[in-house]
A and B are shown apart, each in its own frame.
Chain A
Amino acid sequence: MSPLNDDKDSITSSFYLTKQTSFRIAMKQRIGVYICHCGGNISDYVDVEQLSKLIANEDNVVISKDVMFACSDSTQKDMVQDINDQKLDAIVVASCTPKLHTHTFRNVAIRSGLNPYNYTQVNVREQCSWAHSDKPMDATIKAYGLIRAGINRVKYSEALENIEITAQKAVGVIGAGISGMRAAVDLARMGNHVYLIEKEANVGGRVAESGKLFMTGENGKDVIDRLYKRIKEIPEITVFTNANLDKVSGSIGDFTLEVSVKDEALKLNVGAVLVTTGFDFYQPKEGEYGYKLSDNVITLQQFNKLIETSNDKLVYNGNAIKSVAYIYCVGSRQSKGENKYCSRQCCSAAIHSSLNVHEKFSGVKAFHLYRDIRTYGKQELLYTESSRKGDIYIKYEEKEPPAVEVKNNKTVITVKDYLTYKKELSFDVDLVVLVTGMVPRSDSNDISSKLKIPTGSDRFFNEIHPKLKPVETVIKGVYIGGTCQGPKNITESVQSSLAAASKINTILRKGTLELEPIVARVNAETCLWCEKCAAVCEYDAIKPIESNGKMIAQVNTSTCVGCGICGPVCPSNSIEIVQFTDNEIESMIDGFMEKAEINTKQDSQENEISSGKQIKLNGFPKIWREIASALDDKTLTIPQLSEQLGVESNVLTWHLMTMNRYGVVEPAGLDEDEAYYMYKLKK
């Protein structure tokens, strides 16, 4: 145990912030506890009323209430009233998951003049009533433990202030493809200065290289030219081409990007970084579907160039092309290879190319050898149009891929068609087009190591959560957009980079930004700077600093995410996470493990059974009461009960077994035919 626990009433923390400002933690003396019914979601299983009575007896608890809906306006008002009237110094709310209502009750605290961090949320819905609906008594005992843990924790809670940081209203956008360019325009329009940093000599990336685009029919080059013209008219955007990102330092609100443009070295001060570095096309290996072994095997990119440059007739290497086979999923969805993902846009791209061929040249037959056609959304129109034009679709499986061979100067394809009962088909074509997928850029490792963006198993940059935080990375202030994150088509790329732009704007707009203070904290007295914490920190948040004549660790509160990895490695126990201190965690364990004495609801007056006998099953599922009233004085088998109650026998079996365990019913031997067990109420 920590020596801090010696004096229970008032302790002085021996921990200091590195700023050397010492402070006292007074154990909270007047705690309010609110246990929520959640309209029955909790109280149907957890005996909320009894718990609130029991909790009232806990040390330092001034108010203990059970409320129908803790999150309702009226209850919130009551809480504010209680805090002011009773001069509460901390509150505990036992209701649902903190994901849902942490901010609701923090705001309650703020409105009543209490520090929002002097509040603890206990989850008795997801963790008790929902998870243990089959065992109401156990759920109640567990809830009791969790609430007591919460009370113990809140006793140690500290009044904390959010960390405030000044933010540079400037953004570094890395990569001037369509995603980066489009995001730059919006970021500038929202009042930020934008540095658009491009490695190549020209802006535009992959889109500038592509021809006609679906659905507008515009040329990729034209789209980029138009966008670039717009960028040049915006003074807030500075474009660097032939530029290389050398080094990144600093943290959210204040990054320094060291960029070299030709021989010139620049230092750019930005508040946030948007990475839109894009993708590379998968390069087929030699011999993959005859690639490089036959002249007549090319990639979709080469084929698109061919369509664009050919005039009246589609001619390749001097031969007129009358039939084309497209082989899909080349370099994608490799269950045994390294690219396990689907590249999303290639099905549509290949079919679009095929339609472009039909439009420009007549009489070219197309064979599509696919695994699954994924032309989602409006791209479905492409598929329908191509089918209508007579393109032939042949489905192969990964384990039986098509074979491309050259026989008598003919390129022959043999494939087992899964749509034709795995019939082996063979046909010769003039040209084989490999529909290649997307892979991370060859230099993406360089970018990820400089910005410390983690990569996923697909080697693309990783967002925090694909749905909840789709453009944020674990590095605060660093955002990702477009195909550096994973395969996307142009629309999706631009959508994601614009999402990132608006996210960036929300943090930079005010000029200052607030971060939660739940970060690591160093005890300056005991720290000896052994570097162990800095070595394990994935966010580079710990640096040495001189203090009172010795080196100690200093936490950069704007980069620290409070992950806690530094705590266990410290040999002198000199670093801890705010709100997760040893005191708090240990006292929570003590609270949870304390012996719980819960009464079964013997004294309830409700649920009188017709016979006049009282069955006390309040708080248990309704079906228990029905079973009990059906049994009454009788002994019945499961099929008889099933017939009487109109409930499926397997459901009844399950409930009867539980009721048996809780001592509500007991078996009463076999029936006459010795086929079923009979049950009766336990007296």
Chain B
Amino acid sequence: MSHINPDFADDITKFGAKDFNLCFNCGNCTAVCSLSTNDATFPREMIRYSTLGLEDEIKSSLKPWLCYYCGECSSDCPRQANPGELMMSLRRWLTATYDWTGLSGLLYKHMSVYIGGMIALLAAVVGFIYYSGLSKEVVMHYGHLFEMFAIAGVFAVILLPNIIRMWYFTVIKPKVKAPIKVYFKALSELFVHMFTQKRFLGCEDTKENRTRWLLHFILVLSYLSLLFTTVFLDWFSTSSTFVIWLGYVESAAIFIITTVFMSMRVRKTDAMHKHSQPSDWFFVIWLFLMGITSFAVRLLIDLNLINTLFWVFTIHFTVLVQWALIIVPFGKWTHFLYRSFAMYFERIIGLNNQLKK
């Protein structure tokens, strides 16, 4: 027996959902969705659960992560109930639910907290650089060290526990008792989706036009490889021409593609970009800043101007800190991780069901 929570609607509205109460369950969203399966519950089941506020059902569901927000459902909804935006909001809500610190929820719901956090980090970085009395080389060295420790720390303290919580909510609590070998067998799913977003290709609009998928694919690869290039190949200090050029290409790809994405959000031509939330803007702008500032820093190093124009590095470092401490652990970056794991868990559940039969 499930318990209705009429207050859930107010809660999810704070995560960006709009007008989903107008849904009268006609099923058009399910009919047009190319990812909908034969049981005809995707995505309308989630909309119904949200209307009724069946939190337990939503918490244990992986379905919000299976949606790539092509926006077909929202444009075809006869009630303008924005099912696509609701699915997006549910992803934000789930991110907040998985997060043991509770900070995700705060940041999503209150833009003031988000901005406050960003300003606090800006002040900390600027203060550290200008009042520590350290030389510019040492600061850049600390920047590099920070990057390494931040990645390790955020992963160990925030992301890993959150993924374990996600696993608990979606696999363990619904009593899916899958043997270990199933976990190994399904592992390929995790990596394939993490790097390629294979499922995204199943969306109707992506089938017709693969540009968005391709841009996204290049962006993910560039971002991950730039991370590798800066952290492990030490891009800012290396003398290897190949690594230098590799870094340039990667960072250029990031700021060019994010510029395209930002212009889409400004133009609002397609359904997915009509309702940008602060978290969406922060994510895409900061990724853009990451790309352009790292490109600029390396360029200044190559032109031997870094000492005279050190404020550029200050900006880069600030952006990096904000990115690593707010957007990666609590912001939209986590979608990248949760979505991949959702595919993985879904595969585990599927394989386990096959095994039972």
Contact = CB atoms under 8 A, between A and B. Distances in A.
A425 B48 contact: no
A424 B51 contact: no
A540 B48 CA distance: 60
A393 B1 CA distance: 18
Contacts of B19: 388
A392 B49 contact: no
Interface string A399-425: 000000000000000100101110111
A417 B48 CA distance: 10
Interface in B1-37: 1-4, 6, 9-10, 19, 21-25
A425 B4 CA distance: 7
A387 B21 contact: yes
Contacts of B51: 392-393
A423 B49 CA distance: 11
Contacts of A421: 41, 45
A616 B17 CA distance: 74
Given A420-B49, A424-B1, A388 B25 contact: no
A365 B4 CA distance: 11
B351 interface: no
Given A419-B48, A421-B45, A384 B22 contact: yes
B6 A390 contact: yes
B275 to A, nearest CB: 17
Interface string A425-460: 111000000000000000000000000000000000
Nearest to A413: B4
Interface residues of A, number: 23
A387 B49 CA distance: 15
Nearest to A424: B1
A228 interface: no
Nearest to B49: A420
A403 B45 CA distance: 24
Contacts of A367: 4, 6
B246 interface: no
Nearest to B7: A365
A393 B21 CA distance: 9
Dominant SS among interface residues on chain A: strand
B1 A426 contact: yes
Given A420-B49, A421-B45, A425-B52, A390 B21 contact: yes
- The residue among B2, B19, B41 with the most chain A CB atoms within 10 A of its own CB is B2
Nearest to A394: B52
A392 B6 contact: yes
A425 B1 contact: yes
Given A417-B52, A420-B49, A421-B41, A387 B3 contact: no
Contacts of B22: 384, 387-388
B21 A388 contact: yes
Nearest to B4: A427
A387 to B, nearest CB: 5
Contacts of B6: 323, 365, 367, 390, 392
Given A388-B19, A390-B9, A414 B1 contact: yes
Contact of A423 (B2, B9, B10, B21): B2
B2 A426 contact: yes
A423 B51 CA distance: 14
B24 A387 contact: yes
Interface string A27-65: 000000000000000000000000000000000000000
B45 A424 contact: no
Nearest to A391: B21
Nearest to B48: A420
Interface in B154-184: none
Nearest to B81: A387
A355 to B, nearest CB: 14
A404 to B, nearest CB: 15
A426 B52 contact: no
Contacts of A384: 22, 79
Contacts of B24: 373, 387, 393
A388 B81 CA distance: 10
A419 B25 contact: yes
Nearest to A383: B24
A678 to B, nearest CB: 46
Contacts of A390: 6, 9-10, 21
B21 A426 contact: no
Given A417-B52, A420-B52, A421-B41, A392 B2 contact: no
Interface in A360-393: 365, 367, 373, 384, 387-393
Interface string A330-373: 00000000000000000000000000000000000101000001
Contacts of A393: 24, 51
Contacts of B48: 419-420
A4 B79 CA distance: 74
Interface in A496-515: none
Nearest to B44: A419
Contacts of B52: 392, 394, 417, 420, 425
Contacts of A388: 19, 21-22
Interface string A117-137: 000000000000000000000
B68 to A, nearest CB: 24
Contacts of B21: 387-391
A426 B1 CA distance: 7
A385 B1 CA distance: 29
A388 B22 CA distance: 6
Nearest to B41: A421
A394 B52 CA distance: 9
Interface in B82-133: none
B88 to A, nearest CB: 20
Nearest to B9: A390
- The residue among B2, B4, B22 with the most chain A CB atoms within 10 A of its own CB is B4
Nearest to A427: B4
A644 to B, nearest CB: 41
Given A390-B9, A417-B52, A424 B25 contact: no
A510 B25 CA distance: 57
A572 to B, nearest CB: 68
A390 B3 CA distance: 17
Nearest to B6: A365
A501 B51 CA distance: 48
A417 B45 CA distance: 12
Nearest to B51: A392
Contacts of A373: 24
- The residue among A388, A391, A419 with the most chain B CB atoms within 10 A of its own CB is A419
A427 B6 CA distance: 10
A424 B6 CA distance: 16
Contacts of A425: 1-4, 52
Contacts of B45: 420-421
A438 B41 CA distance: 37
A588 B255 CA distance: 95
- The residue among B25, B52, B79 with the most chain A CB atoms within 10 A of its own CB is B52
Nearest to A419: B25
5 contacts: A384-B79, A388-B21, A392-B4, A420-B45, A425-B52
Interface of B: 1-4, 6, 9-10, 19, 21-25, 41, 45, 48-49, 51-52, 54, 79
Given A387-B23, A421-B41, 17 more contacts: A365-B6, A373-B24, A387-B21, A388-B19, A388-B21, A390-B6, A393-B51, A394-B52, A414-B1, A420-B52, A421-B45, A423-B2, A424-B2, A425-B52, A426-B1, A426-B4, A427-B3
What are the 5 A-B residue pairs with the smallest beta carbon separation, nearest first?
A427-B4, A365-B6, A419-B25, A387-B22, A424-B1
